[in-house]
Amino acid sequence: MSSPHSRSLCCCRSLSASGGQCTALPSERCPLVDVASASNHAHFHLRHFHLDLQINFALKVMSGWMVLDVSPLRSGVQTLVLDCHPSVLVRSVDLKDPERLQDPPQSLVFTSESFSEFGSALKVVLPEVRAQRELQVTIRYSTTDGPAVWWLDPELTCGQTRPLVFTQGHCVCNRSFFPCFDTPAVKSPYSATIRVPDGFTVLMSASRSSFCRDERVFQFWMDEPVPSYLVALVSGELQHHDLGPRSRVWAEPCLLSCAVQKLEGSVERWLSVAEQLFGPYLWGRCDLVFLPPSFPIVAMENPCLTFIISSILESSEFLLIDVVHEIAHGWFGNAVTNATWEEMWLSEGLATYAQRRITAKAYGEAFTCLETVVRLDALHRQLRLLGDNSPVSKLHIKLEPGVNPSSLMNLFTYEKGFCFVSYLCELCGDESRFDRFLRDYICEFQFKSVVAQDLIHCFLQHFPELHSAPSRTGLEFWRWLTSCGAPLFEPDLSAGGALTQPVYNLLRLWSDPARPPDPQSLVTFDLSSWSTFQIVLFLDRLLDLAPLTHELMSRLSACYSALFDALNAEVQIRWLQLVVRSLFYAELPRVRAFLLKHTSRMYTLPLYEDLASGAMKSSAAEYFSQTQRRLHPNLRRSLQTLLLSNHSAGGGQGANQSEGEPEAKPEANHIETHSVNQNQDAGKDQSQNGGIAVIQNGGKAVQNAATQNGGQKLNGTATNQSAETQNGGEAANHQAAETRTNQNAAFFSAQKDTELSNQNATQTQTANHSSASSQLPRPSSPFVHWSQKQSIALTEL
């Protein structure tokens, strides 16, 4: 770029050695270095990959093979290096030359080497091949419960009748699902064949699917290129209801009617508004699946199939924001993806901006401004805690080797990113012109991965008057991306005044601890008519003042406690945090009732953090003993560590990531209530200024438990289980199955013999017919396992 303001945006990491200039030829793209990936993805072109897996719920194992269609970009490449994980047991690697199908596959030598706490490197020795020669590499493997793969026993599901498994790939977890180029810089189409026992449905983030009822085989095709972290799978007792011609909701039977009631008529409306603003929806389907409370984040924008935590169904306004945010990712994040984790704001900041443009069109400026006020409130709260010079407040943070990219996820990724995009809109001076620019940006880069340089270069091309006037006040792209502290610009939110002003007026009445408001002065404030975001703003501001006096809490309780108790969990948790921090024992029974009811991390952990930080620690231990069997093992271990720790006022800061608990991924504009971990955890979903409600802005929350720590400790005992599995045998798997709870023993024993038989048959077939992998179906091919008459599209179920 010729502009002095954008010259430093080059993605080259060797700028200091080259005098600040990019050394790449003008016709070439500057090479990207992803220090979170062990792979040599820059040496290969990944054309397509196929997964063929059998899910064994009894043993909690997925086993089968994958086929990668790759081409070396230059001659002399002797090694293929893929991202992998210790929870993955690779049994063999074969090579097939598509130009010599008559030849048997060639067995390849491979090794596994340590890379980081969140993964390993699978190194495969290749024969000498010429550049651009297409190769088919078949990897036979099995995976257990690494950071991407979550096995839920029946009692951890909503229906509590059958187990469920799902995957969660963001940021760098899918390397424990399948060996891959686990970097957002690499995109490819994929297909999958998944086999499950009777009574289970499989869904994947794919554009097309079919199902053979007799053989219990599901087939999927993703026709467009996607990065590895957006490949997602869920299998369990799932039913569906069509919401529109291209949208469907999936859930466990006990949840389905509630989900339909909350979403019917809305998804298509949101899609239509988004298309008016940003151009055609590129993914065909826009389905949603609600997962049990153990889902580690609020929502995840997997293409064609958004994953959403069922707990959010209680909070209609938060559900609205979360789903709209994930829809916005269809354009920003999924279609155009950040090429490096160091610039996640390119996905999250743009998606947050797009989400607010959609809600402003659908629900008005006032509602959108109110939601934005709540989010920016949390951003400034977190900044006060961390300090203006905190490096986590940068938009572009250099990722050091060995650091999990999820540690870069924070409120700034979403809210400071949103403010930067709003600043670009302000620069051009016309919102409708800026919408047209975003449409052109999507058209130019769709299905590609980009860096900030691409966005700003495209912006300056679209608005040449800015490009020709580099001295214009405020044209500070580099400062935006690299400086610490608050956003340099925030949009005008005065349109929300009709909704925010009553909140501020009420807060003034309660702001003096020594003088509670006169009852008569409160008559004009009817909180029962307020929106959730108004009450959340009110409680967040009160939490800023905590602890409150006993007299003030008594008055607040008399005025509002019964109302809050009847509202959704987003309101209840904030009131209960105020109760705990103010040591208001009269309301403590409601804390216990809340923790007995809610088992999701986003509602459980914040309260335990506050309870464990002071005089109520004994109560925390009591509540935990009563509820721990209903908690996912990863969350259970986090809480055990928290309660056993001797942290002072910060209460469980740092405990969030204990025992393999993953990093948080701030969620689709969801306001979390975790406290900030002041080491490198400061911005994950636990961004809460000492525990005060903090936003999970943007789209995905708490990538928890073994999800984003890449499974360093692999869910406690999972590492040992994985090691035993890799040593060979079924013994570890049998032992894992036997350790399941007594309530599930009958269910699993009924399936075990059948599933083991099927699995062994599949593996024998794999060993005897290794060349079959070269003939696996591609997106344009018919099924090879059954006739078209036997299979039906999932969308036709």
Most distant CA pair in the chain: distance in Å? 89
Specify whether the CB–CB gap between 161 and 744 falls below 8 A.
Answer: no
Quickly count: other Cβ atoms within 10 Å of residue 360's Cβ. 20
Q: 677 CB contacts (<8 Å, ≥6 apart)?
A: 653, 654, 656, 657, 684, 686
* C-alpha to C-alpha distance for 165 and 196, rounded to whole angstroms: 11
Quickly count: other Cβ atoms within 10 Å of residue 260's Cβ. 16
* End-to-end CA gap in the chain: 52
The one catalytic residue in 224, 314, 317, 326 is: 326
Q: 694 CB contacts (<8 Å, ≥6 apart)?
A: 378, 381, 382, 411, 671, 672, 673, 674, 676, 686, 687, 688
DSSP state of 39: S
Q: Of all residues in the chain, what percent are helix, strand and coil, respectively (each to 5)?
A: 45, 20, 40
Q: Is 326 a catalytic residue?
A: yes
Q: Is 67 exposed, middle or buried (0-12, 13-18, 19+ CB in 10 A)?
A: buried
Radius of gyration of the chain (CA): 26
Q: Take residue 273 and report the two structure tokens written for it.
A: 């508004």
Residue 66's SS3 state is strand
* C-alpha to C-alpha distance for 122 and 495, rounded to whole angstroms: 54
* C-alpha to C-alpha distance for 67 and 776, rounded to whole angstroms: 8
Specify whether the CB–CB gap between 149 and 107 falls below 8 A.
Answer: no
Q: What angle do CA 152, 155, 159 make, to 5 degrees?
A: 95
**Which residues are marked as active site?**
326
